[in-house]
Every structure is written in structure tokens, then in C-alpha cells.
Amino acid sequence: MALLTLAANAVLAVFGLLFLGLFVASAAASGAFTKPVDTKKKNARLQARSELWDLSSRPLPGFRHRFYEAEDGVNLHYVEGGDTSPDSPLVVFIHGFPDSWFIWHHQLSLPAIQQAHLIAVDLPGYGGSDCHPKASATAVLTSLTNFVLAQKEKKETERCILVTHDWGSVVGFRLASEVGFLFDRCIILNALHPPLALENATRAISSASKILRAYLRSPGNLALLRSAWRSLRPLLMQLRSSYYVSVFLLPRPLARLPLKMGDFWFLRLASRLAKSRNEEAHLASALGPSASEVEGYPASVRTRQDVNRRADCMIAYYRGNLAWGRWNKPEHIQLLCAAADTNSGFTGLLKRKEGSMGCPVTIVYSKRDRAFHRRFCFEGLEEYLCSSKGGRGKGSYLVCLPRAGHWPMTASPGRESVEALIECALDVAEGEETKQRVWGVDKDVVFEIEK
């Protein structure tokens, strides 16, 4: 086993070095290392950083900067707006890599949902939030669960909707499955569900291994090789789609390079893929407060003025096993979980499938998202979904956006569909009504699974 692990790490390192070389070559070909920094662009970026992060001003019309001061000392920055009265429903937005709260600015400004209490939080280590020494599952999931609990304590209504993207969606999947009782619905964009992905990978490898052993006994039977390839293909396609992860797992000095080379070449690439209308504003949101805005933010935000420190915090989510690591819940969260099981009538006699959802979910993926392979990520998803026949009487969905990319909430046509799904969640629209409202903005959206 140790030899197998060593071999796997060696292969991963080789691929990481290969793809890092491709990143560097692409940046060089674009002139990122030779073109002088555009003064006009730099000034626009500094202005955008001031507008987004200056605590004395409003980040968006009707919104304010806020801080959640955690007992463990890891404080989170968030922006808050909409109807903040105690009886309004709560909507919490969590971004992914390499973004911040600003990635949701279209949704936060949407007139149709201003009747809700809208909160967009920066993940630990991103934007204006403190960072954990290590982005472990226990550290990150506990921080964000405590954050949600603190926001819900301010409310007289229990209604809470979670909207997530990318790494925020990995967090969203884990919260939906492990503390799903906190939410009326989770809308999870563009990510894989860790237990399902692990199950599909294990099944593919096991099936291919059995077929290859049979082939060794009958080496003339080429049909067995084709069958083994069909079994492994979804896994291999996903590994190809996730090639960039191998770069972030290289030794730290190498893993940092994409996030610091060529006037932030990688972040600019992300902005273009997100179809951002304002590249400098997108870049300013990912970089967080500059030295002139950092006063009033948690202490670790000041240390992220160093490009190496900022990169370390961003790539920590890839290196800390957040997706599959064990969440050692603190006692107060364990007690809440036990109380929720009791209230739901769960006796523990029938063990739940690990990773099954504890609340209704709307899982969204984009057909043009190069980071995820549909078959690998979602084959077998039905077994994990909360049934509409269960406790809350609300359905769960897998929704495909046919013309959107990895950031469907930033540009048309995906943006309108995401916003329609949020509106439906707030209005408690279900089944056919949800479909008709989404098809009203994009008739080609596909509801692939409904349970």
C-alpha cells in the first residue's frame, strides 16, 4: 500500500509539473511576463478595490460590510442587505475559488429577492475573512456552520436558503448532508458531491480491475479491454477535467506560481472564463482589501498583502482535504444534529447512506463547464437526494444549464436561470411551477432528475 501511495504521488507530481509548465507557457505566450503593467488598468483595479473593500463606504447600494466574530478567533467578513428585519427569510451565499462575496453581486442586487435578508460571506482565507492555519474539513465546516447559526439566531423565522458555487458548493454539499436541518433548501452550483464522487471512482476502478483480470486469462478477447475502458472512462475524463488541481498540490513554492505570475495572469484568465464585464473589478474582488483598505479587517488579512501568503490561503482548500476529510463536530453542533434526528423521527435503526441530503437541494451544473464530467459527478445521485415524499414535502432537482460555463451566475444565459431558481426557493415554488418559471427565462434548461 505504501508503495502504491508513493507511485500515485509521483504520478501526480509529474502531471503537476507538466501542467504548471503549460500554465507558464500560456502566460508567456500572452505576453504576461514582457508587457509592462498597464497604468490605466492598475489604477482601475485600485479604484475597484477601494469601492469593494473600504469599510467606510457601501460595497453595493443598500448593503453594508459586517464581521462575524467567532469564538475560535477566526473572524469572517460578509456583506448584508435586503430586508434585514427579524421576520424576513435568510439567504446565505458562499463563493468558490478564486473569488469573494462580489461574485454574487448580480444576485444580491436582484429586485425580486430584496424581500429576503441577503448575506454573502467570504470563505476563510478569502476576501476580507480570517484564514485557518489549515483549511481542514473540521476548521472550515465548523466556521461556516457557526456563522449560519449566528445569523439564524437573529431571526424570528427559521427559513434559510443556502446558495453556493465551486468550493463553496463542496462546503454546501457537506452542510446539506451533515447539518441539512439548518436549511429549507440548498442551491448548489458547479461542484461534485464528495461521497458520490468517491463511490463512483471506487466502482469504476473495481469494475475495470475485475475485467482486466479476466482479460489476463483470455488475452485474445479484446472486447474485455473495451469494456474496461468504458468502465474507467468517466473517471479518466474527470481527472483530465481536474488537471489544474495537480498544480496546486505541488510543493508550495511551485503551487503558488499560477496565482502570482504575470500581473495575476491566472486570476485574469478566471475573469475571462467567468465572462466578467469588468476584469479589474473581478480581479479586485479576488485580491481582497489593499494596504489602504485593510484597517478594520482581521489581522490575517493584512498578512495577505504578501502575494505568497495570499496564494497559500487560496490553495489551502486543495491541500487540506476539505472535500473528504472527517468533520469532528464540536459538542454544540453534535447536540443540534441529535435533536434534529429526534424531531424528524429518525431512530438510527436504519442507517442513512453516508452523504445523503438532509434537506431539499437544487443541484445545478453547466454543460460547458470544463471542470466537471457529468457522468462521473452525478451518476447515482438519486440515492443521495431528499425525497419529496419525506419530511418537508419539497422536491430535489438536478438541473443542467446547456449554454453556461463554470460561473453560471455571472453572465447570460445561466445567470437568469440561477436567479429564477433562487426566486422559486424563496416563493416555495415546487415541481411544475419551478420548471415553468425557469423555462420562462431559458427554455433549453433541462431538469434531469426530480425526486
Predicted confidence at residue 341, as pLDDT, reads: 81
Is 80 exceeded by the pLDDT of residue 157? Answer: yes
DSSP 207-243: HHHHHHHHHHHSTT-HHHHHHHHHHHHHHHHHHHHTH
Give yes or no for a contact between 124 and 130, defined as CB atoms under 8 angstroms apart.
Answer: yes
Name the pTM for this structure. 0.95
Distance (Å, whole) CA 111 – CA 158: 23
pLDDT above 80: residue 15:
yes
User: Strands of 185-189's sheet, edge to edge?
Assistant: 64-68, 76-82, 117-121, 90-94, 160-165, 185-189, 361-366, 397-401, 446-450
pLDDT of residue 350: 57
Task: Note the pLDDT tens digit of each residue in 116-145.
Answer: 999 999 999 999 999 998 889 999 999 999
Q: Kindly tell me if the per-residue pLDDT of 389 is higher than 60.
A: no
Domains present along the chain, CATH in parentheses: 1-346 (3.40.50.1820)
Give the pLDDT mean for 258-267: 92
Cell representation of residue 293:
483598505
Amino acid at 46: L
Give residue 356's pLDDT band: very low, low, confident or very high (50, 70, 90). very high
Percent share of the chain, pLDDT over 90: 79
